[in-house]
Amino acid sequence: MPVEKRVDDEVEQAREEVEEDTREETSPPPSKRRHLEEQSDSWKPPSVTTLINPNQFTTSIYHSQIPSLIESNPKSEVILGVDEAGRGPVLGPMVYGIAYCLKSYQSQLKHYGFADSKVLKDEKRQSLFQQMEDPAHELYENVGWATTTMTAKDISSGMLQSTAGTGAYNLNEQAHDTTIALIKQVLAKGVNITEVFVDTVGPPITYQNKLKSLFPGIDIVVTKKADSIYPIVSTASVVAKVTRDLNIQYYNETLPILQNHKLGSGYPSDPNTSKWLNNNVDHIFGWCFGFIRYSWQTAKDSLVKNNAVEVIYEDEVKKRDNGYQDVSDMFEPKAKVKINRFYYTSEDSVNL
């Protein structure tokens, strides 16, 4: 099937899915939203306050409404920027953010002070994001945005998938798939995206070619430091960074096991993060469900350092081609694999 036809089909499918999925994300039950907002007096974006069942730590997607000036000019060219926050930390989510606006509006973003979120102070980032969410502000009617909040639980589950099955779903693949899905979801809303700018920490050319093959009608630029070059990527950077920071703040304030703890930034080099990791290890369960990336070497090393107990896993059942297991297999001795704490270091190559 030609690439163009495949993408058209996928966009149409995404259009149908996004009508259902994002309706749920953008319009959660009022009681749930009130509950989340009442947890703290501080402002939090809807990408945090609309989490459904937050204690399940399930990856979530949020889309803003299409800005009125884009909706009223459906044939006008729209540019879209992509950036992430939280790729390296051992705790908390990795958030992919996108922002989009009319191509003719791009220069105004710089006027408001959008820049690489890492060089902006917290107050400035939050102020910019609040303006984007203020119906009375110019940014609200010009700039659309969306996020995918990839939880630590889901990141680790992908990276630690059994080699006997589909195999590891590495962080780059997860990041690429998340970006592709967000672009498709905006296209499915009928937005006329003509240019996409993506910030990347890996080899840009391979990734750029991959995106061009999927979206042949769109000019795509993938480059390092895009958040300091293109204002629309800077805007996406702010969206991603604020969402991640306030997601962590929300759990720090509301989850009993995390309350009154100084978690730090989540990066392994942060003294507060390191102290929390090493002082709050359960020898059997490790740490808070869903909040820690167990696939990170920092987490593995901390389990070893704190004498995590040995765990024995039964072999996973392998389905046959027809999807059913032979009943006679139920009576065969079950093989067991013993995983000791040294599994959590690079010295041991154990396949789960």
Q: What is the pLDDT of residue 22?
A: 37
Q: What is the pLDDT of residue 287?
A: 87
How far, in Å, are 44, 46, 109, 277 from residue 281 at the CA level? Answer: 29, 32, 44, 7
Task: End-to-end CA distance of the chain: give it in Å, rounded.
Answer: 37
Q: State the Cα torsion 8-9-14-17 to the nearest 10°.
A: 150
Q: What is the pLDDT of residue 41?
A: 54
Question: What confidence category does residue 306 fall into, taking pLDDT thresholds of 50, 70 and 90?
Answer: confident
Model pLDDT for residues 177-198, shown as the tens digit of each residue:
999 999 999 999 999 999 999 9
User: How many CA atoms, within 13 angstroms, populate the side-chain half-sphere of residue 205?
Assistant: 0
All domains of the chain in start order, with CATH:
3-254 (3.30.420.10), 271-344 (no CATH)
pLDDT at 316 over 60: no
Q: Kindly report the pTM of this predicted structure.
A: 0.78
List own/partner pairs for 38-45 with CB under 8 A and 24 or more apart. 39/250, 39/253, 39/254, 40/249, 40/250, 40/253, 40/254, 42/246, 42/249, 43/126, 43/130, 44/246, 44/249, 44/250, 45/129, 45/133, 45/239, 45/242, 45/243, 45/246
pLDDT at 343 over 70: no
Phi-psi region of 92 (alpha: psi -120 to 50; beta: other; left: phi over 0): left
Distance between CA 60 and CA 22 in Å, rounded? 10
Q: 256: which residues sit within 8 A by CB, 6+ positions away?
A: none
Model pLDDT for residues 193-237, shown as the tens digit of each residue:
999 999 997 789 999 999 999 999 999 999 999 999 999 999 999
How far, in Å, are 13, 16, 175, 324, 327 from residue 82 at the CA level? Answer: 22, 23, 11, 42, 50
Tokens of 299: 């987490």
